[in-house]
Structure 1
Amino acid sequence: MRLFRNSGIIGIAESALTFALEASRDSHPNEYMGLLRGEDARKLGLEESGTVLTDVLIIPGTESNPVSATVKTSMVPNDMRAAGSVHSHPNGVLRPSDADLATFTKGDVHIIVGAPYERDDWQAFDREGEPIDLPVLDVDPPEEEFFDFTQEDIDRELLPSEEDDRGGWLF
C-alpha cells in the first residue's frame, strides 16, 4: 500500500528544492541523484490534504559521472514517506532520457534539475515522464530528532532494574 496514492503530492518545500539545487551545483560536472520524502500537509500547518515533499535523501554509495548517476538499491531505506527522486542533468536539458524513464517506476514525482542550477532550472515529472506543475511551498519541515533521548534514558537502558526468573536482568 502506497502512503501517498490517495491524497497526492501538492508541492515541494522551498528548503527541499534549495537543497536539491545546491547539491546538483556541488556535484557538477557529474550528475546528482537523491530520493524525495514527503510529509502530510496538515502536519506542516497547511489546511489541504496531501503530501509536501520536504526532504532529499542522499543515498550512500551513489556513483555518478557527467552522464549518469547510479544509486545502490541495497542502500535505499525502506521508507514509508518515500515519494520519488531528484537528479541533475549537467547539460541543462530538463527532459527525461530513456534511462530516466526506466527509473521513474517507483515514486509519484521525479524532478530533473539542470545546469546552471538556478531557481527556475528544474521540472517535475510523473512516473510516465509527463511534466507536471509542482508548486514550491513556504513551509518549515518538521525537525527530525535522531537523538531524542536524555542521559536518564541511557542510564535506564544500561543499568539493570531487577533480576528476572532465569537469573538475568530485566531492562
Structure 2
Amino acid sequence: MITVIFKKRNFERKVLLQKDVLDSIVSYCQMKHPNEGILILKGKSKNGEIKIDGLVIPPFNYSGPTFAGFPHSFLPFDMSYVGIVHSHPSGSAEPSVTDLHNFFGLVSLIIKSPYNDESIFAWDSNGNSISLSIV
C-alpha cells in the first residue's frame, strides 16, 4: 500500500483592488441603479492574495431591483477571471443565500448603495468576509 501525503497550506486570503477598477465599479453600479449591476473580475491569485486589475461586462447579463446574473455558458474560457462583483441597491453588503449559491470564482465583491469607496466588501464562497484593500 502506498500512502501519499499532501501538504495543505492555509493562506490568509486578501483582495487587492486597483483604484481605477473600483472607480469603474462605482460608476457602473450608479448607472444601473435602482437595478443591481453585475461584472466579472479579472486578475491574478497567488498564495491567497487576489489582485484585481480589470472588469468584464458579462454577455447576456440580466438584472432587476433584487437580482443580477448571467448565463455562464456564454463566457469564453479565461484563466484571469477571479470572481464577480455585484451591487445591492437595498443598502446591505451581506451576501444572500442566492449570492452564495451562484458563487463564481475565488471572490465575490458586493457594493452597496450609495456606491462609494467605503461601500464595497469582499466575501468567500462560505459568506466569510475577506480583507479588501484599495491599491
TM range (shorter): 0.7 to 0.9
The letter of the residue matching 1:126 is: D
Unaligned runs of at least 5 residues, structure 2: 1-10
Over the residues paired in the alignment, what is the CA RMSD in angstroms? 2.2
Higher relative contact order (CA 8 A, sep 6+): 2
Q: Give me the TM-score of the superposition, normalised by structure 2.
A: 0.83
After the TM superposition, list the runs of 4 or more consecutive aligned residues in structure 1 that deviate by more than 6 angstroms: none
The letter of the residue matching 2:24 is: F
Percent identity of paired positions between Structure 1 and Structure 2: 31
Output the CA distance in 2 between the equivalents of 1:71 and 1:84.
13
Deviations 1:19-56 (A, max 9, x none): 11111110000000111110479xxxxxx994410111
Output the CA distance in 2 between the equivalents of 1:123 and 1:21.
13
Q: Which has the higher strand share?
A: 2
Q: Secondary structure at 1:91's aligned position in 2? A: coil
The letter of the residue matching 2:116 is: E
Using the TM superposition, give the Cα deviation of residue 15 of structure 1 relative to its aligned residue in structure 2, in angstroms. Answer: 1.1
The letter of the residue matching 1:133 is: S
Unaligned runs of at least 5 residues, structure 1: 1-5, 42-47, 138-171
Distance 1:92 1:80, change over 3 A: same
Q: Secondary structure at 2:58's aligned position in 1? A: coil
Q: Which has the higher helix share?
A: 1
Contact 2:109 2:120 in 1 (8 A): yes
